[in-house]
Structure 1
Amino acid sequence: MSDRNQTRVTVFILTGFPGLHPEYYGLASAVLFFVYFITVMANTTVFFLFATNRSLHKPMYYIILNVSACDLLFSTATLPKIISRYWFQSGSISFTACFVQMYFVHYLGSVNSFIFLLMAFDRYCAICHPLRYTIVLKNSTVHILSVTAWTIATIVPLMLVIRAYPLPYCASNVINHCYCDHIAITVLACTDRAPYSFPAFVGAMITLLLPLAFIVFSYCAILIAVSKVTDSKTCVKSLSTCSTQLIIISLYYIPRCFVYLASQVGITFNADVRIVIIMLYSLVPPMINPLIYCLRAKDIRECLVKQFCIKIGHQSA
């Protein structure tokens, strides 16, 4: 056996954005730190508003709380390491830590997908079956469905880690990405990837496309139900209650589906463009989702204004 086959990788190196010139490392770290800071502050604000206003203790807002928790955890699992890559020139990550990060990247992505399915189900029940809404979707029901989503989402990411961890990594240890994910890691294995990449692709499609299929069905049903309403004000009001969820769901699914479909039809991007696209759809939505809640969800907007007025009143007193 050759020396190459006897040597096993013990640490990986994250390149971040491969084509970024060193003189822009400081700017890159500052931008990424700003994104992380805003993400933490914005989603923490959602938690604070929820904890201090019982008017938000409704099924729809419990679902939004799940999205905020998922966004906060995903950003925390990915951003600190890539910030240190540019801030402290520390791009190395241990073998085990890389797989732990890979697990959480795919796990939290799966949780998001299932929570968006629950979000669509909430709007479907509210608009298509309004008389049964309070019976079908009680707070306790949302709690059970949310816990189920967080539990079921462990299956595919755990399978990915269990299958990828024992592979022989004996060549390059440089990961051309900003964080560890399944493709970026397994491409470095000294073995044929086909037996591992196809099941991973199937798992990704299950966690992505099955929820998406129900989401498309639910919103088609909503549009059909709304189109039968003769009162224009009621029609607009019904659609406006879906706008927040639809914007958030679109920000999550459209870029991901574009990247997956592009790869299947043979459209390729260079490493820099691909990583920028992935970082945009991975890290921008967690930062702007709370802004969408506050601008589009009436109850959250009113609670935010109330808290702001209370703070101003205390300062002026």
Structure 2
Amino acid sequence: MVIESMKTQICPTNLTSAATESVMNTNQTVIYLRNIYLVFSMNFFGIASNTIIIVGTFTKKSLRKPTYYLMANLSACDILTSISMALLVISTMIAMRLKMAEGPFTTLCKIVMIPTYIGYTGSIQTLMIISFERYRAILKANKKLTSRRVGVLVVISWLASLTLASLFINSIGNIGYQCEMNTKHNTLVIIRHTILAVTHFILPAMIMIFLYSKILRRLNSKNSITRNESIRSKQLKRKTIYMLFLTTIIFLICTGPWAAALVFGSVTGRFTSELADDKNVLLMLLATLARISIPISSIYNPIIYCIYNQQIRQLFFPCCCSRSNAVHNSNIDGNSTSKVKFKPIVVSSSQNALEYQRRKIVLKQQG
């Protein structure tokens, strides 16, 4: 009788606990699916919009310029990052459903995560090349970058990205069904994370901010207009620099949490997967931002380009921008496309000085 009464008391409690656990699992599943849909939506937008920029750069004659080629290369890096992040989510879902063993899943993590680091490294290097190109074009006008040199720099940046990413392939592993860059805390991990944070974030950020500050100071100075440069040309250059500088700043903001998580992991030995379940709200926020910041960094560039650059805006909205006047077209090099023809005054030896002065006065009044 005592055992039966205990069973009677325990069974409702077990049922309640099971029901509560079932509800919690259902809520977690719903949240997980929403996050997956959000990631896939961002990745799809990033791939589609950046593809339009690449195709437009090589098909539209007015966009075949060094800076546009570099922007197209940046779009290619963003596409690679978006594809890699989508594959990471898909591989995690498949591994969880199939209950994949640790060895095969670790190999899968290496294959999927390497393109993410290649895309990120290529993006940061391309942004640095763009800042150097704008610096040379504006502060050293006689040393403009040619399309051929841009091609060489693009090839070098991709080779460097592949080399740097391959150095860290052995460190990629997994904690459960979560891919991680490092799963062990030792001196080598600390050195690796420190090198990554310095070379892939801190140093490039300092260089780019310094270069753009010099460029903006030059463009905003009152004595920056030369004889061959009009006010309109200066305005176009300033607008282009604002666009590229904003692109760089947002990229640094988006990748800042990832760099901070690297430094935190190298010091404490706690990685993103562990911080996501931490009781400290700030650490949970850092882990969340470190995970979602990389996908976000691949979708905002086309939006900024459309806001600041009319020629790129025409790629996305050709019907709305077809009637735009050529005088108001945004020119990435800041050169005015309109030409004014002046008819020269030819003075023969038979004309006297009085007649010549009279004609000059008439022309001055007319023009």
8 Å Cα contact 1:39-1:72 kept in structure 2? yes
8 Å Cα contact 2:117-2:165 kept in structure 1? yes
In structure 2, give the amino acid aligned to 1:202. I
Taking a change above 3 Å as real, the CA distance of residues 262 and 37 of structure 1, as seen in their structure-2 partners, is closer
Q: Does 1:249 align with 2:248?
A: yes
Q: Does 1:101 align with 2:108?
A: no
**TM-score (norm: length of structure 2):** 0.65
In structure 1, give the amino acid aligned to 2:204. P
Q: C-alpha displacement at 1:43, in angstroms? A: 1.3
Taking a change above 3 Å as real, the CA distance of residues 201 and 107 of structure 1, as seen in their structure-2 partners, is farther
Highest CA radius of gyration, 1 or 2?
2
Q: 2:191 aligns with which of 187, 190, 198?
A: 198
- Which of 110-119 and 240-249 deviates more? 240-249
8 Å Cα contact 2:305-2:313 kept in structure 1? yes
For 2:252 and 2:193, how far apart are their aligned partners in 1?
18
For 1:287 and 1:85, how far apart are their aligned partners in 2?
22
8 Å Cα contact 1:67-1:115 kept in structure 2? yes
Q: Which residue of 1 aligns with 2:345?
A: none
- Aligned residue for 1:132, secondary structure, equals coil
For 2:257 and 2:287, how far apart are their aligned partners in 1?
14
Q: C-alpha displacement at 1:237, in angstroms? A: 3.5
Taking a change above 3 Å as real, the CA distance of residues 98 and 105 of structure 1, as seen in their structure-2 partners, is same
- Aligned residue for 1:286, secondary structure, equals coil
Q: Which residue of 1 aligns with 2:56?
A: 49
8 Å Cα contact 2:128-2:204 kept in structure 1? yes
Q: Does 1:296 align with 2:308?
A: yes
Quote the sequence identity (%). 20
Q: C-alpha displacement at 1:28, in angstroms? A: 2.4
Q: C-alpha displacement at 1:250, in angstroms? A: 1.1
Q: Which residue of 2 aligns with 1:283?
A: 295
Q: Which residue of 2 aligns with 1:65?
A: 72
For 1:57 and 1:222, how far apart are their aligned partners in 2?
23
Q: C-alpha displacement at 1:125, in angstroms? A: 1.7
- For 1:71-121, what per-residue CA distance to the aligned partner results, in whole angstroms no more than 9, with x for missing partners? 011110122331565699648572212112232222221111110101111
For 2:148 and 2:248, how far apart are their aligned partners in 1?
24
- Aligned residue for 1:21, secondary structure, equals helix
Aligned length: 275
Taking a change above 3 Å as real, the CA distance of residues 236 and 175 of structure 1, as seen in their structure-2 partners, is farther
- Aligned residue for 2:85, secondary structure, equals helix
Q: Does 1:224 align with 2:217?
A: yes
Taking a change above 3 Å as real, the CA distance of residues 181 and 119 of structure 1, as seen in their structure-2 partners, is farther
Q: Does 1:139 align with 2:150?
A: no
For 1:288 and 1:280, how far apart are their aligned partners in 2?
13
1 or 2 for the larger relative contact order (CA 8 Å, sep ≥6)?
A: 1
Q: Which residue of 2 aligns with 1:10?
A: none
8 Å Cα contact 1:70-1:111 kept in structure 2? yes
Taking a change above 3 Å as real, the CA distance of residues 59 and 32 of structure 1, as seen in their structure-2 partners, is same
- Aligned residue for 1:107, secondary structure, equals helix
Q: 2:163 aligns with which of 155, 168, 180?
A: 155
For 2:297 and 2:30, how far apart are their aligned partners in 1?
28
- For 1:122-179, what per-residue CA distance to the aligned partner results, in whole angstroms no more than 9, with x for missing partners? 211222123432xxx01001100111111112233211124x26xxx8xx84154xxx
8 Å Cα contact 2:261-2:287 kept in structure 1? no
Q: C-alpha displacement at 1:22, in angstroms? A: 1.4
Q: 1:75 aligns with which of 63, 79, 82?
A: 82
For 2:205 and 2:246, how far apart are their aligned partners in 1?
14
Taking a change above 3 Å as real, the CA distance of residues 297 and 37 of structure 1, as seen in their structure-2 partners, is same
- Which of 242-251 and 43-52 deviates more? 43-52
Q: Which residue of 2 aligns with 1:112?
A: 123
**TM-score (norm: length of structure 1):** 0.74
Taking a change above 3 Å as real, the CA distance of residues 203 and 275 of structure 1, as seen in their structure-2 partners, is closer
For 2:307 and 2:109, how far apart are their aligned partners in 1?
37
Q: Which residue of 1 aligns with 2:176?
A: 174
Taking a change above 3 Å as real, the CA distance of residues 129 and 254 of structure 1, as seen in their structure-2 partners, is same
- Gap runs ≥5 in structure 1: 1-17, 311-317
- Gap runs ≥5 in structure 2: 1-24, 226-230, 277-283, 323-367
For 1:76 and 1:261, how far apart are their aligned partners in 2?
24
For 1:94 and 1:302, how far apart are their aligned partners in 2?
44
- For 1:246-285, what per-residue CA distance to the aligned partner results, in whole angstroms no more than 9, with x for missing partners? 1221122134345545875899994142332123321112
